[in-house]
Amino acid sequence: MREGGIGAAVKRKEDFRLLTGRGTYTDDIARPGELFAHMLRSPHAHAAISAVDISAAEQAPGVVAVLTGPDADADGLGGMPCGWGITSRDGTPMVEPKWPVIAQETVRYVGEIVAAVIAETADQAADAAALIHVAYDSAPACVQTARATEADAPRVHEAAVGNICFDWDLGDKEAADSAFANAAHVAALDLVNQRIVPHPMEPRAAIAEFDVAAAKLTLHCTGQAAHAMRLLLGAFVLNQPEHKFRVVCPDVGGGFGTKVPPYCEYAILCWAARKLGRTVRWTGQRAECFITDTHGRDHATKCELALDGEGKFTGLRVLTTANMGAYLSAFAPLIPTYLYATLFAGQYTTPAIWTNVKAVFTHTSPVDALRGAGRPEATYLVERLVDEAARLSGLDPVEIRRRNMIPADAFPYQTPVALLYDSGEYERALDIAVETSGWNDFEARRRDSEGAGKLRGIGFAAPIEATGAAPSAIAGSLGARAGLYESAQVRFNATGTVTVFVGTHNHGQGHETTFAQLITDKLGVPLENVEVVEGDTDRATMGMGTYGSRSLSVGGSAVDRAMDKIVEKGRKIAAHLMEASVEDVEFDSGTFTVSGTDKSTSIAEVAFAAYVPHNYPLEELEPGLDEQAYFDPVNFNFPYGAYVAEVEIDPETGRLSVERFTAVDDVGNIINPMIVEGQVHGGVVHGIGQAVCEQVVFDDSGQPLTGSLMDYTLPRADDVPSLTLDHTVTPCPMNPLGVKGVGEIGAIGAPAAVMNAVVNALAPLGVTHVDMPATSHAVWQAIQNARAA
Amino acid sequence: MDMTGEYRIGAPRERVWKALNDPDVLKQCIAGCEMLDKTSDTEFSARVSTRVGPVSAKFTGKVELSEIDPPNGYRISGEGQGGVAGFARGGATVKLTEDGGATLLAYEANATVGGKLAQIGSRLIDSTARKMADDFFGKFAETVGQAEEEISGEAAAEDAGAGEEAASAVAAEHAPPAAEGGGLSPAVWIGGLIAVVVIVLIVVLS
């Protein structure tokens, strides 16, 4: 292994900056003469606005402008765009109501912007906002996902009858129905995959500047996808051409999906900056981010799994109602459809699958991607059903999985729900997890817990996901309104250092290190001589950003392709320098050699010759060593895992603790094992959080009651045991690096493993299902209900 | 939120009566009250600055009396707007019963809150509302000049809703008979008192 190359567990290059407070986050940036925006937000989930009186606010000290919905219309702003269209099963397009950047006649969720005040200081803007009088005529709200389609549910958008955004299906209903007609057992569950808040450490923030002389707009913001942000805001909302619009996403303190979509605040800042010819900034308070960052999950599902007499899965049927919130955020329709139902085969050979998803509007905060985005919901229902099937058929949860897993020799494997799985050795991961977790010794630990008056449970989950979005042609045929390739530029500098420009974005994933390791490994340039630049539309040529665990397999592959071009050109330059024929020049780890001789030259010398072309084949070659490549994957890739959770429950109080957690993952080739481990750690903790703590609660009128960290529980260190991690390596055949995504798999597998363990612990009492989150109260209630039954 | 409470009132009728119909006195008794107007026999409006936990704001509220059943009770409803802090709306059913020489005023209030108040303050509202109600009655008793020693020792307020002991005892005497001549009827003064309770509960705090 080359020092600092692929496979080296080097510490992250970016951490010196980030851990010593030297990062540059959006809020750290200051501009002379900047103005501050304050967003006045609706306190009602559903109300008609009869008047907005801004006269007092306009006269308040320091106020430069007060913007309202009609102003946005007058200035020709478009609504917030949606990046993915879904077609209902009757062939009609999804209902896509306009999402105005500032509410006009109606507000549809608590937190929706009703006016924006721009003032010389943040305090002046906030004080002036308090002087705005909005006359609301409040109305009943539609809040609960499962009840959104009921006849008497308040209507969210006039165009969405029954509050249905789309009614979509996938799979072969006839085949699935037939499997159920002939089933020996049917495992059926009603599940709620609860709404959770993404909670990046850094709140959203943005600064918009308008250079009047150049007619150029620059937006710095907390984003995960600078180019996509530019495209969506520029083309659909602001009518600002791309060559006159720069978006920069500097250091960003976590995203988890919620920082992918463009937001109304950013559109308002850009609009205000352009209108006023001044810099305008906004930094979200934790409280407003709680209700206006897009939320995640929020499904109500009825699902059932058919089995034959041998415990083989023969059919799966799923009916899901997915909550979109009040408006369609940029990728919301994609999540409960192609990122969800396409994963229903899980790791199994289930031959017949049918699903129907109704996406609904409610008077709640919009929902979009959150770590896993659809795939945690898929793994959760499949793996909960498998445990229920094990219970019904009297098989051990590991044994029933073993009987149904796709065998290693069956790849590539076509599932009945569209995806072609590339590679996998599922049973091997399962074997390692069984061994590492002490699955077979569980009974002894259970008895120990019993002796201490506690209930103990063990749960297995076999998560799978599709990462590396996406093959553009396939994505386009399924409704994507953009391509999903990635671009990379590898630029040698004259002195032999390298600058890499990639269209992805690093907000905790370690790209500055991982991408540099690719350069070090292939080109032999020391790690410290490589700089990775991301998140700037004026520097990286093009890109689609970081989400869906795509950066390495798509962006990294683009880097690899660009390096191939560097080597190809370098060989020609080296051949000239060594007076050899190009065919005889070989390249390995930073050195060009003439095969069969001891003649060699380093890539640094080649780079120098390329930029100081005194001795250079100028008649055949251009100067410079600077190459660009795009990579559009031919397929998704499919990371998978085998997870085992063990919980202990105090039956008197319902208090639950996750005692042990084992995760065996296969993410293909590993560039930096330490970063991979960190990503799995983060994902698993996120998943444990969903399983046992986190939940957004709205009251019946649509008021968010869990709107601060006093009322919304994030997992803390003492909620999580020391994790036992292991991995297998099944290289992905679909990209040159053989890698798969790793950022989300932990959050995909952990909820199912933990909840299977909870149900296992309570099984002696007759409990067969507990909804997330398994708080002490929920567990205690399940125990009481079981005892009363 | 749902809240119940009970106060025993033993102040001289005329003084209480006048005080309860004197917006200036009421204003003095509500912490942070900037304006209190009796806009008709059955309506009050008020503006109060206060804070609930981390949320501070000026609230403007209107309270209306209905289902007036002298001297047994009333229905009161109202709404308060706290601007960027959110809003509160709700109602209370108030019952009056004679208790020896005094009058027991019992209320059952329910209110919904919205905006920042609900998002951040919901867990703080109950306790803050109780404290404000107690502060009001304490201050009111003092203001109407009733000597503390006349407070009967057992007089106490009970908060069944949250199971917490709450509320200071208020010097009071039994409900006055219907006034003749120059006085206002009990319906009005009790209404005034209730209005203040509800202003406190709904407009200011809940």
pLDDT one-digit tens code per residue, A723-774: 999 999 999 999 999 999 999 999 999 999 999 999 999 999 999 999 999 9
Nearest to A130 among B84, B87, B115 (CB): B84
Interface mutation target, options A109, A136, A710, chain B, most CBs of B under 10 Å: A710
Given an 8 Å threshold on Cβ–Cβ distance, is A701 in contact with B114?
yes
pLDDT of residue A789: 85
Closest CA to B200 of B134, B103, B146, B118: B134
Q: How far apart are the first and last CA of chain B?
A: 8
The continuous run of DSSP H or E covering B76 comes out as strand B73-81
Given B58, B116, B122, which is nearest A287 (Cβ)? B116
pLDDT-based confidence at B179, cuts 50/70/90?
very low
pLDDT at A227: 97
Residues of chain A neighbouring B122 (CB-CB closer than 8 A)? 705, 711
Spatial separation of the C-alpha atoms in residues A147 and A169, rounded to whole Å: 20
**Cβ within 8 Å, pair A705-B119:** yes
pLDDT of residue B201: 52
pLDDT at B190: 46
Touching check for A707 and chain B: CB below 8 Å? yes
Query: Which chain A residues contact residue B87 at CB under 8 A?
Result: 43-44
Work out the number of other CB atoms within 10 angstroms of the CB of residue A97: 18
Q: What mean pLDDT is predicted for residues A16-32?
A: 96
Which tokens belong to A616?
């250079």
**Under 8 Å CB-to-CB from B33, ≥6 apart: which residues?**
B26, B27, B46, B47, B48
In terms of Cα–Cα distance, which of A512, A519, A552, A517 is closest to A533? A512
Q: Chain A window 301-340: which residues touch B at a Cβ cutoff of 8 Å?
A: none
Tell me the pLDDT tens digit for each residue of A603-627.
Answer: 999 999 999 999 999 999 999 999 9
Those of residues 98-117 in A touching chain B at CB distance below 8 A are 110
Task: Say which amino acid occupies A602.
Answer: S
Alpha-helical regions (H) of A459-498? 472-477
What pLDDT digit, counting tens, does each position of A447-465 carry?
999 999 999 999 999 999 9
Structure-derived torsion over alpha carbons of residues B94, B98, B100, B105, reported in degrees to the nearest 10: 10
Q: Which residues of A249-263 are buried (b: 16+ CB within 10 A; e: fewer)?
A: bbbbbbbbbbbbbbb
Q: Name beta bridge partners: A585.
A: A594
d(CA A308, CA A351): 12
Write down the residue that tokens 């409990």 correspond to.
A767
Over residues A55-78, the mean pLDDT reads 98
Q: Is A104 helix (H, G, I), strand (E, B) or coil?
A: coil
DSSP assignment, residue A422?
Answer: -
> Are A708 and B114 an interchain contact pair (Cβ–Cβ within 8 Å)?
no
Contact A705 B122 (CB under 8 A): yes
Q: Summarize the confidence of residues B182-188 as an average pLDDT.
A: 38
Of A45, A287, A710, the CB nearest to B123: A710
Chain A to chain B, count of Cβ pairs less than 8 Å apart? 55
Identity at A372, one-letter amino acid code = G
Residues of A in contact with B112 (CB under 8 A): 699, 701, 703
Q: What is the mean pLDDT of residues B169-188?
A: 35
Comparing alpha-carbon positions, the chain B residue that sits nearest to A697 is B119
**Residue of A126, A130, A291 with shortest CB distance to B119:** A291
The residue-averaged pLDDT of A548-558 equals 97
Q: Which is nearest to A125 in space by CA: A263, A239, A272?
A: A272
ipTM for this model? 0.71
CA B184, CA B162: separation in Å to the nearest integer? 35
B47 interaction partners in chain A (CB closer than 8 Å):
none
- How many percent of chain A have pLDDT more than 70? 100
Strand pairing of A245-248 and A216-221? parallel
- Tell me the pLDDT band of B74, cut-offs 50, 70 and 90: confident
**pLDDT one-digit tens code per residue, A150-195:** 999 999 999 999 999 999 999 999 999 999 999 999 999 999 999 9
Write phi, then psi, for A297 (nearest 5 degrees).
Answer: 65, -130
Residue A172 has a CB neighbour count (10 Å cut-off) of: 16
| Residues B76-88 as b or e (16 or more Cβ within 10 Å = b) | bbbbbbbbbbbbb
- pLDDT score of A435: 98
Q: Which of B99 and B40 is assigned the larger pLDDT?
A: B40
Contact between chains at A703 and B116 (C-beta distance less than 8 A):
no
CA A447, A448, A452: angle at the middle one, nearest 5? Answer: 110
Flag whether pLDDT at A408 surpasses 90: yes
Interface probe with B: pick from A124, A295, A708, A712, most Cβ of B within 10 Å: A708
Predicted local confidence at residue A265, as pLDDT: 98
pLDDT over 90 at A136, yes or no: yes
Confidence of residue B21 (pLDDT cuts 50, 70, 90): low
Q: Residue B191 above 50 pLDDT?
A: no
**CB contact (8 A) between residue B115 and residue A43:** yes
Q: Which two tokens stand for residue A787?
A: 């005892």
The CA distance from B81 to the nearest CA of chain A, in Å, is 10
Q: Any idea which of A567-571, B38-42, B97-101 has the lowest mean pLDDT? A: B97-101
Question: pLDDT of A558-594, one tens digit each?
Answer: 999 999 999 999 999 999 999 999 999 999 989 999 9
Residue B147 clears pLDDT 60, i.e. is over it? no
Q: Find residue B94's DSSP bridge partners.
A: B74, B107
Look at residue A163 and give its three-state secondary structure.
helix
